[in-house]
Amino acid sequence: MRVVIDESFDNLMLDKEIKSMVSQIAHCYSYNRQSFHPVKLYCTSFGDKTKAEFDRKMSDYQRWRRNEIIFEPQSYEEVFANEKENLVYLTADSPNTIDTFDESKIYIIGGIVDKNRYKNLTLEKAKKQNITTARLPINKYIKMSSRKVLTVNHMFKIILNYLDTNDWEKSLLDILPARKFNQDKNSTSEDENLKNKDNENVDNNTIEESISVVSTEEISTTTENNNESDTKES
């Protein structure tokens, strides 16, 4: 299955939000490498501020495995020009609830850390492009008092979890922060600030930690490959 992180929103993000976005992408790459059912992950419209931050903090990202992540300067409409009918934009604002994933479809996640400044941004973009939209079935499985807007790495990990387990409830409960299950419907301030807090948590997972996660896996893979080579030589 193919999943796209739409990186076309650089001009709408602050510098600290760009840093958070880079960290989230690094975590997505790490999750994909660990998954039993990895997807083909694309970062489209990759350039400008996000690319500059990758170049500055994760210069080895160009050596990341292309079968697990592809950094693509073109938009998803250009990359998948012959498959537009298969594009599905995942957005919490969509009226359509997804029940399962279709291997032939290409699922898009909006690559933006916006602190709730831009309402319906990805939904409106998809509408203008005549692209199908869908949202995760959170309401079906979990009673939540807050808005169901997730960070990019949360969204991506839930997708991978579902592909591994075929169980929405387990996939959602494993990823969503415990505070999202607050049943106090009078907690309107929490509802409004929920995504901000999630983004702050991702900010706390610093870029340096993301580098460490990816680098450790790369070292492990290199060691395994070297061991295989030694075995073949002997």
Whether the Cβ atoms of residue 187 and residue 147 lie closer than 8 Å to each other = no
Count the residues in the chain: 234
Note the pLDDT of residue 200: 46
Give the span between the Cα atoms of 145 and 84, in whole angstroms: 35
Contact call for residues 120 and 87 (beta carbons, < 8 A): no
Position 204 pLDDT exceeds 70: no
pLDDT by residue (tens digit) across 22-69?
999 999 999 999 999 999 999 999 999 999 999 999 888 989 988 889
Looking at residue 175, what is its pLDDT? 84
Q: What is the pLDDT of residue 26?
A: 96
Question: What's the confidence (pLDDT) of residue 155?
Answer: 96
| Band of residue 119 on the pLDDT scale cut at 50, 70, 90 | confident
> If you average pLDDT over residues 99-115, what whole number do you get?
94
Q: How far apart are CA 210 and CA 204, in angstroms?
A: 11
Kindly list the catalytic residues: 114
Measure the CA–CA gap between 121 and 142, rounded to whole angstroms: 25
* Domains identified in the chain and CATH numbers: 2-174 (3.40.1280.30)
For residues 37 and 160, what is the distance between their CA atoms, to the nearest angstrom?
7
Range 149-170 average pLDDT: 94
Residue 182's contacts (CB-CB under 8 Å, 6 or more residues apart) are 144, 145, 146, 190
